[in-house]
Amino acid sequence: MEKEKKTLLSGIQPSGDLHLGNYLGAIKNWKELCDQFDCYWFMADMHTITVRQEPAELRRRTLTQIATYIACGLDPEKNTIFVQSHVPAHAELGWVLDCYTMFGELSRMTQFKDKSARNADNINAGLFTYPCLMAADILLYQPDFVPVGEDQKQHVEICRDIANRFNHVYGEVFRVPEPYIPKTGARVMGLSAPENKMSKSVPEGCVFLMEKPEDIMRKFKRAVTDSDTERWVRYDPETKPGVSNLMSIYAAVTGKTYEDIEREFDGKGYGAFKPAVGEAVVELLRPIREETERLLADKAYLESVYRAGAEKASYAANKTLRKVYKKVGFLPR
């Protein structure tokens, strides 16, 4: 039977509060995907504990992340939204795939090398086998596409390798997914150091989605602009990275072109431009923040969303898991 819609799946770690870079770069474009694809979105909390977490904080961020996605337009009626740890099949298939992944190939993963360098006191086995769990996350749902950024491409590659290896031994058990390169959103740089991507680890240059308007305004007014001699608003990422970043944020928020923006601020200088970008961002985020707060006040609703999501996800996941268990020779329950 031909499926009417192709399936798309992505996991997002609740490892930090979501910010403007996450929104303009990715989340903003997700709400339209559900028209085209059968979408699964899950909070990858099992991946998050590969780095030590404050338990109450992890719980808070997981719930807030669900509320924020809904507030950003992911309709729970049209998307399957769930928490990874609520669907035991992830851990179960993860173990099986551990046994079909080689030590050597895991050793070559750049993220493992980076993360173990950064967390030298906690190079745990979970960090090492992370790609197997991620492969399980994906393969359980037989998706056609996995939207990922540049930094996660190697993980989709190894997932494809694992799936092909398994299929080669046991027949067509897994659909081998393609990475999906989403419509590129804006690449938002930090406000305090525009040479790096906006990141939660540099909070003074990072605008969080749940931040108060006055704090957002303060960050924009203090945004680093460029020390070139011309003091007007012109798009040139090479010589004017700070101003160009603000322009790309303003363009993404208002839909204006760079020429529109140059004309709008012609002769006005940075002093007028920075608060204007701040205002635009405040107005963009206001409904998202208010809706997220409203949802967080309605715990019963959020619970109903993630419970229904886990149930739907489990149904799909268990189908694949049963097949795998049978293939590898486990006695049926």
Return residues touching ligand TRP (CB under 6 A).
9-11, 13, 44, 47, 134, 137-138, 146, 148, 152, 155
Q: Looking at 200, 256, 323, 327, which residue is catalytic?
A: 200
Nearer to ligand TRP, 145 or 265 (CB): 145
- Residue 180: CB minimum distance to ligand TRP, A: 10
Nearer to ligand TRP, 17 or 137 (CB): 137
Residue nearest to ligand TRP (CB): 11
- Residue 136: CB minimum distance to ligand TRP, A: 9
| Burial class, 199, CB count within 10 angstroms (exposed 0-12 / middle 13-18 / buried 19+) | middle
- Is 200 labeled as catalytic in the residue annotation? yes
Nearer to ligand TRP, 51 or 173 (CB): 51
Nearer to ligand TRP, 198 or 276 (CB): 198
- Residue 60: CB minimum distance to ligand TRP, A: 19
- Residue 59: CB minimum distance to ligand TRP, A: 18
Q: Looking at 78, 183, 197, 268, which residue is catalytic?
A: 197
Nearer to ligand TRP, 134 or 288 (CB): 134
- Is 115 labeled as catalytic in the residue annotation? yes
Tell me the three-class secondary structure of the chain, residue by residue.
CCCCCEEEEEEECCCCCCEHHHHHHHHHHHCCHHHHEEEEEEECHHHHCCCCCCHHHHHHHHHHHHHHHHHCCCCCCCEEEEEHHHCCHHHHHHHHHHCCCCHHHHHCCHHHHHHHHHCCCCCCHHHHHHHHHHHHHHHCCCCCEEECCHHHHHHHHHHHHHHHHHHHHHCCCCCCCEEECCCCCCCCECCCCCCCECCCCCHHHCCECCCCHHHHHHHHHCCCCCCCCCCCCCCCCCCCHHHHHHHHHHHHHHCCCHHHHHHHCCCCCHHHHHHHHHHHHHHHHHHHHHHHHHHHCCHHHHHHHHHHHHHHHHHHHHHHHHHHHHHHCCCCC
- Residue 62: CB minimum distance to ligand TRP, A: 13
Q: Looking at 115, 219, 240, 274, which residue is catalytic?
A: 115
Active site residues: 115, 197, 200
